[in-house]
Structure 1
């Protein structure tokens, strides 16, 4: 199972149209865009997708942040979802580069409950850390 993280907290996945590879989706389907995709090369085939999901195979792999920012720069107006190993401390950055939501597994949701994912909570944590340094 997975949990969808938004600014409103944790919730279920409300997107039921399914996902396909770039260029293979049909009406209403989302796109699973690899985090090493050439965004410019595939943009015309994905620009009308209602949702694009970008994987994060580890919390140390930041390529998804670059892909999201590039999609927004190119004019993508649909929903962007980070999927996988995004941790609560990265949520504010994810929102800042253009992600609308993050999809995490139940185990991560249990280790890092919803209040830790608030952009305000993340900011408070970082501010306290800077003051003590």
Structure 2
């Protein structure tokens, strides 16, 4: 799997725990949604915790855990399944400040939208990374300076820019 941050392929510092694997005493770990409650109850102080959540997850199921999580990984089973974008917006609206990661079969064309919905990083399978190299993800990042969607992109929305221009 390739991890993309700021349009570049980067190393992933998180480790996914297998369902039967015990909780470590330190490090950055990602557990399944099914293991989240157990991990929160038995977590050592030196462990950063992340959760792997299907794009069908009810955001309310994560709400109580969000303050203790450093990573929420939303799984996209197919590039045409956009429910993960909605889930990301709801997680950010709930106040999550940690890393929000899209994981799965996303394409470079969806990168700007993912960032606009609140994702920080995108993790893609190796077969997509071979077809769409780092230069395509960087180009996708620079393709749109503004969007109609108000979100988490620093440049602001097209509508905000129009309102500012009209106010002058």
TM-score calculated relative to the size of structure 1: 0.84
With 75-84 and 27-36 compared, the bigger mean Cα shift is at 27-36
Q: Does the 8 Å contact 2:54/2:76 carry over to 1?
A: no
Q: Does the 8 Å contact 1:54/1:81 carry over to 2?
A: yes
Q: Does the 8 Å contact 2:14/2:30 carry over to 1?
A: no
Q: Does the 8 Å contact 2:49/2:68 carry over to 1?
A: no
Root-mean-square deviation (CA, aligned residues, Å) is 1.6
Ranges in structure 1 where 5+ consecutive residues have no aligned partner: 125-133
Structure 1, residues 103-126: CA drift from partner, whole Å, max 9, x if none?
011211110011111210x339xx
Structure 1, residues 77-130: CA drift from partner, whole Å, max 9, x if none?
00000000110000000000100000011211110011111210x339xxxxxx
Q: Does the 8 Å contact 2:49/2:70 carry over to 1?
A: yes
TM-score calculated relative to the size of structure 2: 0.67
With 88-97 and 39-48 compared, the bigger mean Cα shift is at 39-48
Aligned counterparts of 1:8 and 1:97: Cα–Cα separation in 2: 16
* Residue 19 (1) aligns with residue 30 (2): yes
Ranges in structure 2 where 5+ consecutive residues have no aligned partner: 16-27, 146-168
> Over alpha carbons, which structure has the higher Rg?
2
Aligned counterparts of 2:5 and 2:49: Cα–Cα separation in 1: 21
